[in-house]
Amino acid sequence: MRKYILFFLLFCSIPFCAYAKDPVPNIIVIFTDDVGVSNVSAYHRGLMSSQTPHIDSIAKHGMLFTDYYAQPSCTAGRSAFLTGQYPVRTGLHTVGLPGSYVGLTPDTPTLAEVLKTLGYTTGQFGKNHLGDRDEFLPTMHGFDEYWGWLYHLNAMEYTIDPDWPAKNPQIKKFTPRNLIHSWSTGKGTQKIEDDGPLPPERMKTLDDEVNKHAFRFIRDAVENETPFFVWYCPSRGHVWTHLSSHYEAMLGQNGWGLQEVVMKELDDHIGELLQLLEELKIKENTIVVFTADNGPEIMTWPDGGMSPFHGEKGSTWEGGVRAPMLISWPAQIPAGTINNGIFDGMDFFPTLVAAAGGPQDMKKKMKEGYKGFKAHLDGYNQLETLTQGQASKRTEIIYYERDQLQAVRYNDWKAHFIVQRHGWAGPKEQLNAPLLYNLRRDPFERAADESGMYLNWMGKKMWTFGPIQEIVRRHLMTFKEWPPVSSVPKEQQQAPVDADGIGR
């Protein structure tokens, strides 16, 4: 009898977690529009006048990345996150316009679809920009519910332009759709409601509506005890900005211009979101990500954002692709951590799947076929980087602008093969000899233009071109088995400028 009592006591002393699986986390990804690194006060540390205490709190309770990479433009950045693949691989590398054939293909798996198989309820609220045809809507690609707009924000103003040819029947197919509210039926179909136009007056409080729909979705998920994935995509800070009277009154205060007031409004809305997590008592086991789709659009400053990095949105200079990235998960990620490792937006797919209880080797699983999905994931599982302080699994960044490979980063070294010296709208210059930078010593890419010793230095570092060429070779080889896909009809794929977007 004594032996059985001892065995029972020993059994009870074993931690319960050894037998009970921890509950999977809720996931909220805040995907802002054109927000620059230095628009967030957690990054600029008072160098600029914007103040973002609620956004900063994500870093305070989690991790801030210095070397996070988005894509050069909206559609590319959003598709890279959602699919875990290079936009050139999915055909989503250009800015889709109203009436475009550019959109998610049925055989391109999404993060939302995989999370659905793991028991999550999924919702997207705000900007999508991954195609405006019914077959491209989020509720056909893994989301249970979607509310928002399907283009860059200023596209919603096209029809109020005095030159808009409203009476021309041929222009109808290029007319932006109204705000969309849609739901998946769970049977490969969807229900779609038109939620009305988005004129400038409605834009003034548009993100109030984003919060309303997202908060209801989150409350419902918590009430139903279902883990949720919310892709939260507010309008700020894309041009053109229309402020409510409440925020317009702040212009000129605290040294604030238009962009700083935009950040104040964005921060207020995110503060409301974070407060909701406290209210529902789910903060501890909720992953919250704050990031942006691309670098800031400095060419439209002061409406557009700002960055200390060379270049801007639409280019493959660091200013075009570096974005803020803050992530918290109080149950798992050490608070107040600064991480200098390389992290790409594509890495979220395998990382969040692993965090949600899915396979740790998602890249391998997806190549072989996982629950009916098959794809070449270009992202890496960075979960151990987030939770255990391990080094980033990513040592390379391959920079595309639309479908052109223009630069490569290998550890701290970056080589440019094609440059854009005059912004997004300017010409591209193909170089006979690559420009070389060390991004840990010269993160703002100034030495080639400003150092009289640059050629001497570069000549001694040309050995870096060997491993960089190998990265390119290995990358291009993947297209043999996994060629790019496209939703665009073949006869239109070679057009330099057409309805499929701004250029190719």
Cα radius of gyration rounded to whole Å, the chain = 23
The CA angle 263-265-270, to the nearest 5 degrees, is 90
Please state, as a whole number, how many other Cβ atoms lie within 10 Å of the Cβ of residue 51. Answer: 19
Residues 312 and 456 in one domain: no
Residues 371 and 452 in one domain: no
- The per-residue pLDDT for 495 is 53
Residues 360 and 477 in one domain: no
CA–CA gap between residue 21 and residue 356 (Å, rounded): 12
285 in helix, strand or coil? coil
- The per-residue pLDDT for 172 is 86
The DSSP string of 12-23 is HHS-GGGTSPPP
Residues 377 and 429 in one domain: no
Residues 260 and 342 in one domain: yes
- Residue 7 is assigned to a structural domain of this protein: no
Query: Could you identify the residue written with the tokens 């297209």?
Result: 479
Residue 472: HSE in the Cβ half-sphere, 13 Å Cα cutoff: 18
- The per-residue pLDDT for 22 is 79
- The per-residue pLDDT for 488 is 72
| Residue among 61, 217, 195 at smallest CA distance from 145 | 217
Residues 86 and 221 in one domain: yes
Instruction: Give whole-number Cα distances, 87 to 108, 313, 331, 438, 442, in Å.
Output: 11, 16, 33, 26, 28
Residues 468 and 365 in one domain: no
CB distance 396 to 384 below 8 Å:
no
CA–CA gap between residue 488 and residue 486 (Å, rounded): 5
Hey, what amino acid is at 168?
Answer: N
CA 22 to chain centroid, in Å, comes to 28
CA–CA gap between residue 163 and residue 486 (Å, rounded): 33
Q: Which residues of the chain have pLDDT under 70?
A: 1-21, 490-504
Residues 326 and 432 in one domain: no
Ramachandran angles phi, psi of 471, nearest 5°: -60, -45
CA–CA gap between residue 107 and residue 128 (Å, rounded): 19
Ramachandran angles phi, psi of 131, nearest 5°: 120, 140
Hey, what amino acid is at 211?
Answer: N
- Residue 199 is assigned to a structural domain of this protein: yes
Residues 151 and 67 in one domain: yes
CA–CA gap between residue 272 and residue 54 (Å, rounded): 9
CA–CA gap between residue 400 and residue 225 (Å, rounded): 41
Show the tokens assigned to 438.
Answer: 């060390």
Among 395, 412, 427, the domain-final residue is 395
CATH number of the domain at 221, please.
3.40.720.10
- The per-residue pLDDT for 178 is 97
- Residue 491 is assigned to a structural domain of this protein: no
Task: Please state whether beta strands 286-292 and 145-148 pair in parallel, antiparallel, or not at all (unpaired).
Answer: unpaired
- Residue 386 is assigned to a structural domain of this protein: yes
CATH number of the domain at 411, please.
3.30.1120
CB distance 79 to 87 below 8 Å:
yes
- Residue 306 is assigned to a structural domain of this protein: yes
- The per-residue pLDDT for 502 is 44
- Residue 237 is assigned to a structural domain of this protein: yes
Provide the residue count of the chain: 504
Among 371, 395, 419, the domain-final residue is 395
Task: Please state whether beta strands 62-69 and 325-328 pair in parallel, antiparallel, or not at all (unpaired).
Answer: antiparallel
- The per-residue pLDDT for 19 is 31
| Residue among 71, 90, 85 at smallest CA distance from 31 | 71
297 in helix, strand or coil? coil
CA–CA gap between residue 313 and residue 423 (Å, rounded): 8
- Residue 140 is assigned to a structural domain of this protein: yes
- Residue 53 is assigned to a structural domain of this protein: yes
pLDDT digits 0-9 by tens, 330-386: 999 999 999 999 999 999 999 999 999 999 999 999 999 999 999 999 999 999 999
Among 336, 366, 395, the domain-final residue is 395
Residues 442 and 459 in one domain: yes
Residues 372 and 411 in one domain: no
Total number of domains constituting the chain: 2
What are the helix and strand counts (H, E) for the chain? 17, 14
CA–CA gap between residue 101 and residue 501 (Å, rounded): 9
Show the tokens assigned to 221.
Answer: 């998920």
Residues 93 and 208 in one domain: yes
CB distance 74 to 95 below 8 Å:
yes
- The per-residue pLDDT for 325 is 99
What is the residue range of 68's domain?
26-395
